[in-house]
Amino acid sequence: MRAKLRQQSGETLAEVLVAFAVLALFATLFLGAVRFADRMNLVIETEEETVTGILQSLYAGEGQVTQHPAEEYTFLTPDGTPAFSIQPPRQTVTLTVEEGGQERQYSFRRFAGEAEP
Amino acid sequence: MNKTGMSIRDQAGVSLAIVLCIGALLVTLSAVLVRSGSNLTDSARRTIEQERAYQLAVSFSDQLKASLCTDSARQDSLGAFLDQHFLTPEYGAEPLTLDCAEQTAEEYGQISLTLEKQQLPMTRTFQLSRDGWEPALPSPEGARVADYLVQVTVTATLPEASFSYTESYHRWVDCTAVYEYEGASYRYAGNLTFQPAEGAGADLVLSGEQALVCRFEPKQAADTGYTSVAEEWYDESKTAATIR
């Protein structure tokens, strides 16, 4: 029995089989990563299209504009002394975009428009 | 045969080592693919947030421009602050950061300003040629001269993005023009004639090709005004020169 255990015949074959099994495992992992990256690529393309659409609509002035009352912005020097103040008009631009069959709203704020009295 | 058998036995474990190396390579590649995929997705999502910060910074800068170029006389305006504090010789040359006091509307981000200034030369050299002055001399009453270049940087900070936008302005001030010629000071009286700036003395009448150095001195309680440097390029009447 001891002699049989000491024998090294078939060891290379076993090693090759184990190597193949390990290689298959790594290959599966790699293929999974490739598939994930592929899916991500699709997601990115879709998101980029959505973002481009949103920005085009924003710059084309297609959003719904809501004017808000002006708020006073007072700026302070590093020692806390008031330097100056400004009351800019504020507005929100809301864009409605269809994403994956669902409507989603994106809001952008800016200091523009006619200040409400 | 025995020799071949020995050779195979000597290489025991080599194939597994090679496979492990290949495996490590594949794992690294997989990690890179997954990470770059996630990063790119985040980047696409961040674009919207960046645009929000951009809209806030640029529109706030536009409001400051409107205030500075049309309403700088108001006591608590940016123009008044620049004239009375930032652009005085006592202030020094270092940039100034102004933070906004507490804002109620968080969705409009945190707005902060950085002011920088550069004093412009207050002397010019005028060349008299056969065809007259090149460039034209300021009128005897004086001229409006840009004495400072001020850069106002607006930074809008949102939770996930921030954007800084810089607008440059010229500060204009009413000046009298004093001409230096052979160690004496003169004021222009028109028709190539210069009168002594102080005390009595003979008028100076120039002819031939000569150069005159002109020093601009702000008038007492002179009016100041601001213009956007970017807009000066679109307005031919204002030109890029710093004398009007």
Reported as a single tens digit per residue, the pLDDT across B139-157 is 777 788 899 999 999 999 9
Distances from the Cα of B2 to the Cα of A25, A108, B7, B211, angstroms: 35, 81, 9, 105
- Res. B136 pLDDT band, cuts 50 70 90: confident
What letter represents residue A95's amino acid?
L
Q: Considering only residues 142 to 171 of chain B, which have any Cβ-Cβ distance to chain A shorter than 8 Å?
A: none
- Binary contact (B9, A8; C-beta < 8 A): yes
Alpha-carbon gap, residue B193 to B176, rounded angstroms: 16
Query: Which residue in chain A is spatially nearest to B52 when comparing CA positions?
Result: A108
Average the pLDDT over A60-74 and give the result: 90
Q: Rounded to the nearest 5°, which phi and psi values hold at A41? A: -60, -45
CA distance B87 to B169: 12
**pLDDT score recorded for residue A18:** 85
Burial class (CB in 10 A: 0-12, 13-18, 19+), A39: exposed
pLDDT on residue B240: 42
Q: How confident is the model at residue B239 (pLDDT cuts 50, 70, 90)?
A: very low
CA count, 13 A, side-chain hemisphere, B214: 26
For every residue of B61-120, DSSP letters joined together read: HHHHHHHHHH-TTSTTSHHHHIIIIITSTTT-SS-EEEEEPP-S-GGG-EEEEEEEEEEP
Whether B213 shows a pLDDT value over 80: the answer reads yes
Question: Of B15, B18, B55, which has the smallest distance from its Cβ to A110's Cβ?
Answer: B55
Residues from chain A contacting residue B54 (CB–CB below 8 Å): none
Question: Is A27 within 8 Å of B9 when comparing Cβ atoms?
Answer: no
Report CA-CA distances (Å) from B244 to A52, B135, B215, B219: 45, 11, 14, 15
- pTM, full prediction: 0.77
Q: What is the pLDDT of residue A66?
A: 92
Residue B52 scores a pLDDT above 50: yes
Mapping DSSP to helix (H, G, I), strand (E, B) and coil, where does residue B51 land?
Answer: helix
Residue A94, C-beta contacts closer than 8 angstroms, at least 6 positions apart: A63, A64, A66, A105, A106, A107
ipTM value for the complex: 0.75
Q: Which of B29, B96, B104 sits opposite A71 (nearest CB)?
A: B104
- B17 CB contacts (<8 Å, ≥6 apart)? none
Return d(Cα A108, Cα B47) in angstroms, integer. Answer: 13
Please give the share of chain A, as a percent, with pLDDT higher than 70: 88
